[in-house]
Structure 1
Amino acid sequence: MFKKSSNEDDEQSGTFSRTAPNFSVTTRTASVIGPTLKIKGELSANEDLIIEGEIEGKIAHQDKNLMVGKNGRVKADIHAQQVEILGKVDGDIRGDDIVKLAKTAEVNGNIHCGRIAMEDGARFSGMITMEKREPARSTVSPIDDIGSKTESDDKSSAAG
């Protein structure tokens, strides 16, 4: 009767998994900047990152995923493969794949991304630029296409 719903458990743990199951940042595989850490300067790493502390400067994380946790405070431009915001960000965000804003997110800055997901309640002030994603390339090469002509096609073109 008084059992917590799984949504409440997600909110308390700071995850965004019920609406973004493909986001791969977990505390087991990521570095964590804890809530008592304050960093000024440029931050880059070759692993997933969870920010629960304060960062001021620039975050260059292009090939990996980055999460600003519920307690995280960032005054920096962010560039990562996937970006998930649960806390506060003052700065531009570039997510090469996707940017996700949880309902607890507060973002002041522009967002550049291929895709965006925003929960009801998220606060955002800025512009969103959805960048074109490259279409999947066809597996048929021009040589394969030429080789697929039938003999009747060749005869009709020779007769014409």
Structure 2
Amino acid sequence: MSRVRVPLPAPNKPTRRIFRKPAGESSTMGLFGRDSQTNRPQQGQVNRTSSPSSPSPGSTTTIGEGTKISGEIHGSTEIRIEGEFEGSIAISGIVFVGGTGKVKASVHAATVNVAGRVDGDIFGDQIIELEPSAVVTGNLLAPKILIREGASLQGRVEMASPAPKTSSAKNSQGKGKPGKGHAEKPVKNDGDNGQPGAGTKK
């Protein structure tokens, strides 16, 4: 009896469906948790970009319109005067006198911009600017001075670097002392000359 070999049927194609992913899963597959690690830096970047930048603290001191202040101002901030101020100003920042501002003081700052009225000397370490509405009675001293058309100025203008704020105050006091000494000497001399005259009469 002879044997007949029958070829085995080919494997069924549906067996390949075992490796297909369910419809609910994403198209990408994480390999050893790699996808979860790569997503964490992306979330951190989104948080950094979405966080708003902290606002810088205000550094401007304003004397509003209708306000009257007298005294001394020292510091390094910006000063805006729209009201009235009397005294002295010595700062390393910017001084702006608005159109409604009235200042009766000596002003020493890095930059001085005047659009109102100032009665006193102005010293600028960098520049002094007088707007068309400015009315200044006093001397100006700064490396750069800009006087716009229409501004009123009664005083001298000198383009030079002013002395430091601390030394300028000492020099102004020192200049006053010799003046008093010269005024006292004639009084003493008159008294000395008067005593011998009185003795001769006696």
Normalising by the smaller structure, the TM-score range is 0.5 to 0.7
Q: Which has the higher helix share?
A: 2
Say whether residues 1:86 and 2:115 are aligned partners: yes
- How far did 1:94 drift? 0.1
Residue number in structure 2 paired with 1:99: 128
Specify the code of the residue in structure 2 equivalent to 1:89.
V
1:112 to 141, 151, 171: 141
| Cα deviation, residue 40, structure 1 | 1.1
> What is aligned with 2:95?
66
Which residue of the partner structure matches residue 145 of structure 1?
Answer: none
Query: Which TM-score applies when normalising by structure 2?
Result: 0.50
Partner Cα distance (2:78, 2:126) in 1: 14
CA deviation string 1:98-154 (max 9, x = no partner): 000000000000011010111100000000111159xxxxxxxxxxxxxxxxxxxxx
Counterpart amino acid of 2:153? Answer: F
8 Å contact kept, 2:141–2:161 = no
Q: Who is 1:138 aligned against?
A: none
Question: Aligned equivalents of 1:86 and 1:132: distance in 2?
Answer: 22
Deviations 1:2-59 (A, max 9, x none): xxxxxxxxxxxxxxxxxxxxxxxxxx65221101211111112321110001011111
Which residue of structure 1 lines up, in the alignment, with residue 79 of structure 2?
A: 49
Write the mapping of 1:21-60 to structure 2, written as runs, cut at 5 A.
29-60=59-90
Local SS of the residue matching 2:142: strand
Q: Quote the residue 1:131 is aligned against.
A: 160
- Structure 1 length as normaliser, TM-score? 0.63
* Bigger strand fraction: 1
AA aligned to 1:130 is M
> Among the aligned pairs, what percent are the same residue?
40
Question: RCO greater where, 1 or 2, for CA within 8 Å and sep 6 or more?
Answer: 1
* CA RMSD, 1 decimal: 1.5
Q: Max radius of gyration: which structure? A: 2
After TM superposition, where is structure 1 displaced by more than 3 Å over at least 4 residues in a row? none
SS at match of 1:94: strand
1:43-101 deviation per Cα after TM superposition (whole angstroms, max 9, x unaligned): 1232111000101111111x101100010000000000000000000000000100000
